[in-house]
Amino acid sequence: MSEQTTNVDNGVNVEALLGAREALTEAPEAAQFKWRATCTWVNGTHASSSVEGFYGLGEEQSHRKEFKFDSDHPEIFASADNGATPIEFVLVGLAGCLTAGIASVAQNRDIQLKSVTATLEAGMDIAGILGIDSDVRNGFDGVNVHFDIDADASSEDIEALVAQSQKRSAVFDIITNPTNCTVTVN
Amino acid sequence: MTAGEPQSIDTIVIGAGHAGLAASYCLTERSIDHLVIERGEVANSWRNERWDSLTLLTPNWQSRLPGFSYSGDDPDGYMNMREVVEFIDAYARHCRLPVQTGTTVTSLKQNADGYHVMTDRGEWQCRSVVIASGACNVPSIPRVAEAIPADIQQLTSWEYRNPGQLEDGGVIVVGASATGLQLAEEIHRSGRPVTIASGEHVRLPRVYRGRDIQWWMDATGILDEGLDEIDDLNRARHLPSPQLVGSRQHQILDLNTMSSLGIKLVGRLMGVQNGTVQFSGSLRNVCALADLKMNRLLKTIDEWAEQSPDSSQFEPPERFERTTVDEEPCLALNLDESGIHTIVWATGYRPDYSWLDVPVLDRKGMIRHDGGVADSPGMYVLGMPFLRQRKSSFIHGAEDDARFVTQHLAAYLQSR
């Protein structure tokens, strides 16, 4: 039972999050969300994706505005490099998810953050995607995330923040555990 | 049995385990007319539903029930199941508690006068009922078990007795509670190669600073922590049992012990595809979480010890090595290719309320209750993890819980 102190502010509304948790425990249907994205091929390996609407709390929801993302491949792949590669978006997703988690957990534990920087690196043998060697998987052979965190807390408490954010992270779960993926076409 | 007039009684207690008998003792003290109904024998689950080598996770000096406590000459030892059964049996006899064994409740219904209890040996009409039928009646197995190929032997910790039941060949033990680790070690010692799959777990040293960890948890008041003192009650009620074993050597049992024996450590079992089981890539984090939580507990103990007038008696603080995780833990095992013949599910248990015809279950099938007072007037629950206090999960936790619940029950009977 941490006392609510007023001087810790990481910009996270913990009361709202805890309230939502309580409300959704009572109304599990409202906790069912659908996340959506659309993507249109532009040219070559360049594609343009956007997100705006999603479903949750029992009804259609929307972002404040539409967000657009260009994905492409770098020039060494003989591409025009109009955007990040899709796999880099995966790293962006993981970093964003863990960082948001750290801020939320820190707020809940009354820890003032001063700076949080994540550096990510994922190895990949492209012999997989190029079809050179069928024993090599297409995806990452591992992901390393390194956090540099400056906060008013002991190194052990900071370590615990990072561990808890992994425990509660959707993208961490998506990367570490298998997920059924169904692709259809018209 | 022929249907007849139900017998009238103030209170029926369902289950003659340690919790039901503690309730009976407290009801007797209050002269409340009651009967304990037991499907099998006294201490039935301890007697018939545990593996051969199991010993209590709590030392003998901690084995106590209202009006009764351990009186043997080995207070620091740990009871095996035969001794637990003798202890609970002696309690029922010593206190002359009203128990009717060999009587299975087939339905419990609510009516205008309270509750109607139907059994295979007669029926009762009671004004109040205490459900102490146990927290571990049926094994909980993840859905993914359905996808395990048919030629793999599957066994739950509920069915497991000893390694002799297992086929020769490799074994995956799923779950890293006290149960999972104890079974993994025992199966490994039987000569079978063992892999242990670990999700979130609770790491605790058996002995710390020269004392049993249960002594520290007791002395510091951690075991007395109540419902209002913890942030996440749901989590506390569903924690896996701490990685402990009650052995003569007071040995430490943790994932590092597993690794040092040659048992392979992998992440939580998440999927099965074409005869290959998949493990989570989160192993490093679940180990980090358990290490951090253990260290937080040891820090609490150290702070308490420093303030204690006996501080000079304790051995100096120590910290245990972090859990060692392979650089690249295995993410998938083809059962056939890796010679796995058996999977042992040590993934916990849940209560069986198939006989309970009162709408008090939540969507997870657990009785809705507030510290043992069920969400149905005159109905009470005992013997569940963290019912009212952290120690509710242990035998010695039954006393406080039974006293509270029977006090509430007595007031309820008087008010009507």
Query: Residue B3 has what pLDDT?
Result: 57
User: Are A159 and B292 an interchain contact pair (Cβ–Cβ within 8 Å)?
Assistant: yes
Query: Which of B294, B320, B345 corresponds to the end of one domain?
Result: B345
What chain A holds in terms of domains, given with CATH numbers, is 12-80 (3.30.300.20), 85-178 (3.30.300.20)
Which residues have CB under 8 Å from A160's CB, separation 6+?
B289, B292, B296
- Choose among B133, B155, B125: nearest CA to B13: B133
Counting residues of chain A whose pLDDT is more than 90, the rounded percentage is 84
Q: Among partner residues A156, A175, A177, which is closest to B295 by beta-carbon distance? A: A156
Query: Residue B1 has what pLDDT?
Result: 47
B187 and B64: one domain? Answer: no
Is the pLDDT at B2 greater than 90? The verdict is no
Coil, strand or helix: which one is A37?
A: coil
**Cβ–Cβ under 8 Å, residues B324 and B259:** yes
Is the pLDDT at A1 greater than 90? The verdict is no
Task: Give start and end residues of each alpha helix (H) in B262-324.
Answer: 283-307
For the entire predicted model, the pTM comes to 0.92
Q: Tell me how far apart the alpha carbons of residues B351 and B345 are, in angstroms, rounded to a whole number.
A: 17
Nearest residue on chain B to A141, alpha-carbon basis? B328
Is the pLDDT at B127 greater than 80? The verdict is yes
Question: Residues A60-73: pLDDT tens digits?
Answer: 999 999 999 999 99
B222 and B107: one domain? Answer: no
Q: Tell me how far apart the alpha carbons of residues B208 and B407 are, in angstroms, rounded to a whole number.
A: 37
Considering the domain boundaries, does residue B46 fall inside one? Answer: yes
Pairing of strands B369-370, B105-111: unpaired
Residue B379 parent element (H or E): strand B379-381
3-state secondary structure B34-91: EEEECCCCCCHHHHHCCCCCCECCCCHHHCEECCEECCCCCCCCCCEHHHHHHHHHHH
- Choose among A117, A114, A116: nearest CA to A151: A114
Considering the domain boundaries, does residue B292 fall inside one? Answer: yes
Considering only residues B57 and A20, tell me which one the structure prediction assigns the higher pLDDT.
B57
User: Is some CB atom of chain A closer than 8 A to the CB atom of B365?
Assistant: no
Average pLDDT over chain A reads 93
CA distance B80 to chain A (A): 36
Rounded to the nearest angstrom, the gap between the alpha carbon of residue A149 and the centroid of all alpha carbons in its chain is: 18
Q: What band does A2 get if pLDDT is binned at 50, 70 and 90?
A: very low
Considering the domain boundaries, does residue B176 fall inside one? Answer: yes
B329 and B355: one domain? Answer: no
Nearest residue on chain A to B284, alpha-carbon basis? A163
Query: Residue B109 has what pLDDT?
Result: 98
**Cβ–Cβ under 8 Å, residues B369 and B375:** yes
Considering the domain boundaries, does residue B2 fall inside one? Answer: no
B76 and B170: one domain? Answer: no
User: Are B281 and A176 an interchain contact pair (Cβ–Cβ within 8 Å)?
Assistant: yes
Q: How many domains does chain B have?
A: 2
In chain B, residues with a C-beta closer than 8 Å to the C-beta of A177 are: 270-271, 278, 280-282
B128 and B161: one domain? Answer: no
CA distance A161 to chain B (A): 10
Question: Residues B298-339: pLDDT tens digits?
Answer: 999 999 999 999 999 999 999 999 999 999 999 999 999 999
B52 and B185: one domain? Answer: no
- Supply the range of the domain harboring residue B196: 142-345
Q: Among partner residues A163, A172, A176, which is closest to B289 by beta-carbon distance? A: A163
Q: Best residue in B292, B322, B325, B327 to probe A by mutation, most A CBs within 10 Å?
A: B292
Coil, strand or helix: which one is B9?
A: strand
Query: Residue B5 has what pLDDT?
Result: 85
Considering the domain boundaries, does residue B228 fall inside one? Answer: yes
Q: Tell me how far apart the alpha carbons of residues B347 and A85 are, in angstroms, rounded to a whole number.
A: 40
- Name the token pair of B329: 């833990």
CA torsion angle for A20, A25, A26, A28 (degrees, to 10)?
A: 100
Query: Which of B320, B345, B370 corresponds to the end of one domain?
Result: B345
Q: What band does A15 get if pLDDT is binned at 50, 70 and 90?
A: confident
Q: What band does B201 get if pLDDT is binned at 50, 70 and 90?
A: very high
Counting residues of chain B whose pLDDT is more than 90, the rounded percentage is 96
CA distance A112 to chain B (A): 20
In chain B, residues with a C-beta closer than 8 Å to the C-beta of A166 are: 282, 285
Looking at this predicted complex, what is its ipTM? 0.85
**Cβ–Cβ under 8 Å, residues B183 and B346:** yes
B218 and B262: one domain? Answer: yes
Rounded to the nearest angstrom, the gap between the alpha carbon of residue A16 and the centroid of all alpha carbons in its chain is: 21
Considering the domain boundaries, does residue B29 fall inside one? Answer: yes
Is the pLDDT at A153 greater than 60? The verdict is yes
B357 and B325: one domain? Answer: no
- Name the token pair of A67: 């967000």
In chain A, residues with a C-beta closer than 8 Å to the C-beta of B270 are: 177-178
CATH number assigned to the domain comprising residue B190: 3.50.50.60
Considering the domain boundaries, does residue B255 fall inside one? Answer: yes
Report which residue type is found at B239. L
Question: Residues A99-124: pLDDT tens digits?
Answer: 999 999 999 999 999 999 999 999 99
In chain A, residues with a C-beta closer than 8 Å to the C-beta of B366 are: none
Counting residues of chain B whose pLDDT is more than 70, the rounded percentage is 99
B19 and B97: one domain? Answer: yes
Q: Tell me how far apart the alpha carbons of residues B304 and B220 are, in angstroms, rounded to a whole number.
A: 6
B389 and B284: one domain? Answer: no
**Cβ–Cβ under 8 Å, residues B243 and B176:** yes
Q: Tell me how far apart the alpha carbons of residues B178 and B254 are, in angstroms, rounded to a whole number.
A: 9
